[in-house]
Structure 1
Amino acid sequence: MRYLQRAGHRSLPGRRARLATAAILAVTALAACGGGDGGGGEAEAADGPKAPATIPELTDDPLTLSFIWFEWPPAQALEDFANAEYTKERPNVTIEVNTVPNANWHDAMFTQFAARQTDFDIPILDSQHIGEAVTNGNILDLTDFVDENIDVDAYDPYLLAAYGQYPQAETGQRDEDASLYGLPLLGDTWTMIYRKDLIGDEPPETWDEMIDAAQKCQDENPGVSGLAFHQANGSDAAAVTYNTVNGVYGGNLWNSEDKSIEGVINDEAGQKAMDVLVNEMKPLTAKGSGNWFIDEVNAAVAQGKACIAFQWIAAAGGLLDPAQSTLGTTEDEILDTLGFATLPTQDADVVPLGGMGMHISAYAPAERQAEALNFMKWFEQEDIQKKWAAAGGVPARTDALESPEFLEAGPFNQVYADSVSRMRDMWNVPEYAQLIDIENTNVNAALNGAKDPEEALDDIAEQQQQVLDSSGGGL
């Protein structure tokens, strides 16, 4: 991830401004977004707009292919990479990656979807957004196109399912009979970042050992917090943190077969996870960290204020930039201090699935839909995926993940490759936006002392169950 390491987190105010209106309108349009009424379920998904198996004739006229994503380093990396490489094949095409703040990402897309008119051609959706987009007919069914143009055997089935399949009877499992509505763009998961000079060269192997090491480090190093992790009530920050701890201690978020949440997320394992998070991990974080997300965790690590931290790999690049760090004047000096490891295990061996897929807006003009299909076919080739890896991307193709171009490009790339088989996703249902909001709000409240942890978890279970029940259980 050499590009991202030097790029850091670059602000894109011009692109943000172009999408500001969509973000502002989000509140008034949520009811129209679908957001959890279940839409037409599988029947509507089957009858939605379909992409052709063969790419239609492409135009030779100048054309801008527009993406929408949230504001973070991979967005700029994608735009730079595509304009450098795709234009070798299609010199008349300009790639534009528009961005919005992470907290506005979902609403910026689905507000335009609700209006049945988009100023973007390729929405980059979180894996859990797919159900809402499919049931509302917002994105093209790519199944026939994929069958004709994409080598599906080149991917781990989990990744292909997570970034494109709907419905998912069991989250993350590939069903060859299910339709595909997207293809992988960027893989991701958490890495554990640890201070080798304070913790030691070998990272903790279990979650309990990690907490003990963080406590010892904090006790021995005044002014340095034992832990830094996402806690904010926004995007999926606090929820992903709880979900990760839940999985590590053997819990589950729901029973996907009967769509039950009550009695599952708040069972004994779920309660144990909440207790560990609030009563053991939270006391090891910095004062005022209750609203921390990606930037705040990176700042704490770069400034030497955390013994152990958890961060999305695709967002960790700037940590090796000496201009942003107090841990060394060169990248090598920083790497003498910082270690990157896969997450510790405990009662179970799971890590959070991150990353996103790319999709095609059902409302884009025909010529730009054709160009989007051509871009996808181009992007998913083995040689292009390896170039994307060398440019700072996290590929999903197995051959690219195992290639020197990826594994030697950054110190946390091996962490990702080793984590793929351990990944666990959330609920891939149309009601995702409501479910994540409920969980973020309650976990954040528990972390900040505004709510009893057990009460917060029971409220999550009850409120999320009500959402699924009121919409037909996500079916």
Structure 2
Amino acid sequence: MRHPKLTGRLSVPGRKARLATAAMLLVATTVAACGDGQDDGDAKAGAPKAPATIPELTKDPLTLSFIWFDWPPAHALEDFANAEYKKERPNATIKVNTVPNANWHDAMFTQFAAHKTDFDIAILDSQHIGEAVTNGNILDLTDFVKNNIDVKAYNPYLLAAYGQFPQAETGKRDENASLYGLPLLGDTWTMIYRKDLIGDKPPQTWDEMISVAGRCQADNPGVSGLAFHQANGSDAAAVTYNTVNGIYGGNLWDPKTRKIDGVLNDAAGQEAMDVLVNKMKPLTAKGSGNWFIDEVNAAVAQGKACIAFNWIAASGGLLDPKQSTLGTTREQILDKLGFATLPSQKTNLVPLGGMGMHVSAYSPAANQAEALNFMKWFERPDIQKKWAAAGGVPARTDALESPEFLNAGPFNKVYADSVPRMRDMWNVPEYARLVDIENTNVNAALNGAKKPKDALDDIAREQQSVLDSSGRKGGGGL
């Protein structure tokens, strides 16, 4: 019998659904639909500006629609917002529309290309921002943020990652750069380990982790040493390789020269690919070459993995006794499962996950006003702490350090400790093509269809061709 999906869904007071339409509001709407090759000055000119202050809100019933992929935080957000935001805006209903993860990018950008969206707030991956900005798909929130958001309340890396474009260096906050979004959900990987199989102390280095996983697999027939993302879809296999690349001292590219070939596939990059394919892959379960979030969670919950890696925001279901064979209570499960920050090796880098909120340039004026009001409300310190207590991963420093967050789950301290270690991928308009190239080739190497060196060289060559053909110059930013 197939194990049910680990939804990890949170119990927040119930959803209320009412449809509605809106009144009017003036927002600058000059939109330039520009291509990937646009320079940074054109990007700023092409994005319509949000007003610096929130215009008068409609008193009529209104549905504020989001678009996200289908996973536990999406359902938690809808429940949380309808329970809490309605206390201040009872006429507003929050609807979070979801699509499969693999269709997430295209579901948003197909509508953007048509200059008509059925969503008001797009939840973009950090690397989607450049494409949306250069095509004029989302509002420039710079003036709005200055007047409504305390930017000093955030780690500059998170504020930059979820809103700033361009980024001369990944995660570096430039106060003169424009902001196009605000944080919704922070995230990174946690290492999940079986305390009853490997001991209470988690491995401290990547090499030690591989050794421990190997011994655990040998000592426990039917249990794989490792479980991690390998699928050729979304950013699954790419994030896995990029994580190992960073830990072994590699770089994804040189953002100043926009050079990938010769950087990604240098000695450190090759070592990382060798570790992933020849040392980690043999410790995974048969048939795991297409695994992503749900499959890794299922392996952990069924007691089939010694050590696993997954996104923190997707890990809540692991503690649900209805979805686990590790115990009949949360406490029994936690006697067997531990959560830790990723081991280090040559560096201690971890992957940046999470997403920001961005206002569609094609949303009706009244909905844009409601979206801005929602964002200002959501970023309040009291609401961020409530979001944390409900299972969200906040970005405000005071919320990250609050008891509401740190006590809400055993993996929350992992996130708080990981923020200074984060590294993002390329934050450029060409991101979607770059990640597809990497996913395809890393997945091929993991499944034996390509030799590790050939796969990495192909990634570097093909990604370099994408950047070279875009016409953008060096210094455009991650």
Q: What TM-score range do you get, normalising by the shorter chain?
A: over 0.9
Distance in 1 between residues matched to 2:443 and 2:101, nearest whole Å? 17
Distance in 2 between residues matched to 1:374 and 1:245, nearest whole Å? 40
Q: Secondary structure, in 3 states, of the residue corresponding to 1:340?
A: strand
Distance in 1 between residues matched to 2:180 and 2:317, nearest whole Å? 32
Q: CA deviation at 1:472?
A: 1.8
- Tell me which residue corresponds to 2:45: 46
- Tell me which residue corresponds to 1:277: 276
Task: Judge conservation of contact 1:5–1:321 (CA < 8 Å) in 2.
Answer: no
Structure 2 counterpart of 1:118, which letter? Answer: T
Q: Secondary structure, in 3 states, of the residue corresponding to 1:96?
A: strand
Structure 2 counterpart of 1:460, which letter? Answer: I
- Tell me which residue corresponds to 1:213: 212
Moved over 6 A (4+): none
- Tell me which residue corresponds to 1:199: 198
Distance in 2 between residues matched to 1:176 and 1:136, nearest whole Å? 23
Deviation string 1:268-318 (CA, Å, 9 cap, x unpaired) is 000000000000000000000000000000000000000000000000110
Deviation string 1:304-340 (CA, Å, 9 cap, x unpaired) is 0000000000001100000110000000000000000
Superposition pairs of residues 273-312 of structure 1, within 5 angstroms: 273-312=272-311
Structure 2 counterpart of 1:325, which letter? Answer: S
Q: CA deviation at 1:43?
A: 1.9
Distance in 2 between residues matched to 1:62 and 1:51, nearest whole Å? 22
- Tell me which residue corresponds to 2:104: 105
- Identify if the C-alpha distance between structure 1 residues 6 and 118 changes in structure 2 by more than 3 Å, giving closer, same or farther: closer
Task: Judge conservation of contact 2:36–2:134 (CA < 8 Å) in 1.
Answer: no
Distance in 2 between residues matched to 1:334 and 1:435, nearest whole Å? 39
Q: CA deviation at 1:411?
A: 0.3
Distance in 2 between residues matched to 1:94 and 1:267, nearest whole Å? 51
Structure 1 counterpart of 2:118, which letter? Answer: D
Q: Secondary structure, in 3 states, of the residue corresponding to 2:359?
A: coil
- Tell me which residue corresponds to 1:124: 123
Task: Judge conservation of contact 1:5–1:320 (CA < 8 Å) in 2.
Answer: no
Task: Judge conservation of contact 1:131–1:166 (CA < 8 Å) in 2.
Answer: yes
Distance in 2 between residues matched to 1:46 and 1:273, nearest whole Å? 40
Unaligned 5+ residue runs, structure 1?
10-14, 16-32
Superposition pairs of residues 24-423 of structure 1, within 5 angstroms: 37-423=36-422
Distance in 1 between residues matched to 2:260 and 2:175, nearest whole Å? 27
Q: Secondary structure, in 3 states, of the residue corresponding to 1:385?
A: helix
- Tell me which residue corresponds to 2:437: 438
Q: CA deviation at 1:131?
A: 0.0
Distance in 1 between residues matched to 2:425 and 2:145, nearest whole Å? 25
Superposition pairs of residues 454-465 of structure 1, within 5 angstroms: 454-465=453-464
Task: Judge conservation of contact 1:55–1:373 (CA < 8 Å) in 2.
Answer: yes
Task: Judge conservation of contact 1:42–1:135 (CA < 8 Å) in 2.
Answer: no
Task: Judge conservation of contact 1:8–1:318 (CA < 8 Å) in 2.
Answer: no
Q: Secondary structure, in 3 states, of the residue corresponding to 2:54?
A: coil
Structure 2 counterpart of 1:111, which letter? Answer: T
For 2:9, which of 2, 7, 26 is the aligned residue? 7
Q: Secondary structure, in 3 states, of the residue corresponding to 2:123?
A: strand
Distance in 1 between residues matched to 2:131 and 2:85, nearest whole Å? 30
Unaligned 5+ residue runs, structure 2?
1-5, 12-16, 18-32
TM-score under structure 1 length normalisation? 0.93
Q: CA deviation at 1:137?
A: 0.1
Distance in 1 between residues matched to 2:328 and 2:118, nearest whole Å? 43
Deviation string 1:404-430 (CA, Å, 9 cap, x unpaired) is 000001000000000000000000000
TM-score under structure 2 length normalisation? 0.92
Task: Judge conservation of contact 2:139–2:180 (CA < 8 Å) in 1.
Answer: yes
- Identify if the C-alpha distance between structure 1 residues 232 and 5 changes in structure 2 by more than 3 Å, giving closer, same or farther: closer
Structure 1 counterpart of 2:256, which letter? Answer: E
Structure 2 counterpart of 1:270, which letter? Answer: G
Task: Judge conservation of contact 1:42–1:167 (CA < 8 Å) in 2.
Answer: no
Distance in 2 between residues matched to 1:219 and 1:408, nearest whole Å? 35
- Tell me which residue corresponds to 1:30: none
Task: Judge conservation of contact 1:431–1:467 (CA < 8 Å) in 2.
Answer: yes
Distance in 1 between residues matched to 2:252 and 2:472, nearest whole Å? 15
Distance in 2 between residues matched to 1:134 and 1:293, nearest whole Å? 29
Distance in 1 between residues matched to 2:166 and 2:45, nearest whole Å? 10
Deviation string 1:122-156 (CA, Å, 9 cap, x unpaired) is 00000000000000000000000000000000000
- Tell me which residue corresponds to 1:12: none
Distance in 2 between residues matched to 1:64 and 1:73, nearest whole Å? 21
Distance in 2 between residues matched to 1:39 and 1:104, nearest whole Å? 25
Task: Judge conservation of contact 2:46–2:134 (CA < 8 Å) in 1.
Answer: no
The count of corresponding residues between Structure 1 and Structure 2 is 450
Q: CA deviation at 1:47?
A: 3.8
Q: CA deviation at 1:40?
A: 5.0
- Tell me which residue corresponds to 1:26: none
Task: Judge conservation of contact 1:340–1:412 (CA < 8 Å) in 2.
Answer: yes
After alignment, is 37-46 or 455-464 more displaced?
Answer: 37-46
Task: Judge conservation of contact 2:10–2:390 (CA < 8 Å) in 1.
Answer: no
Distance in 1 between residues matched to 2:255 and 2:39, nearest whole Å? 19
Q: CA deviation at 1:44?
A: 2.8
Q: CA deviation at 1:7?
A: 2.1
Matched-pair identity in %: 81
Structure 2 counterpart of 1:66, which letter? Answer: S
Q: CA deviation at 1:41?
A: 3.9
Distance in 1 between residues matched to 2:363 and 2:10, nearest whole Å? 32
Structure 2 counterpart of 1:457, which letter? Answer: L
- Identify if the C-alpha distance between structure 1 residues 248 and 179 changes in structure 2 by more than 3 Å, giving closer, same or farther: same
Task: Judge conservation of contact 2:101–2:234 (CA < 8 Å) in 1.
Answer: yes
Distance in 2 between residues matched to 1:371 and 1:213, nearest whole Å? 52
Distance in 1 between residues matched to 2:464 and 2:259, nearest whole Å? 7
Distance in 1 between residues matched to 2:8 and 2:239, nearest whole Å? 27
Tell me how large the CA RMSD over aligned residues is: 1.6
Distance in 2 between residues matched to 1:224 and 1:244, nearest whole Å? 24
Deviation string 1:202-228 (CA, Å, 9 cap, x unpaired) is 000000000000000000000000000
Structure 2 counterpart of 1:420, which letter? Answer: V
- Tell me which residue corresponds to 1:448: 447
Q: Secondary structure, in 3 states, of the residue corresponding to 1:125?
A: strand
After alignment, is 37-46 or 191-200 more displaced?
Answer: 37-46
Q: CA deviation at 1:109?
A: 0.1
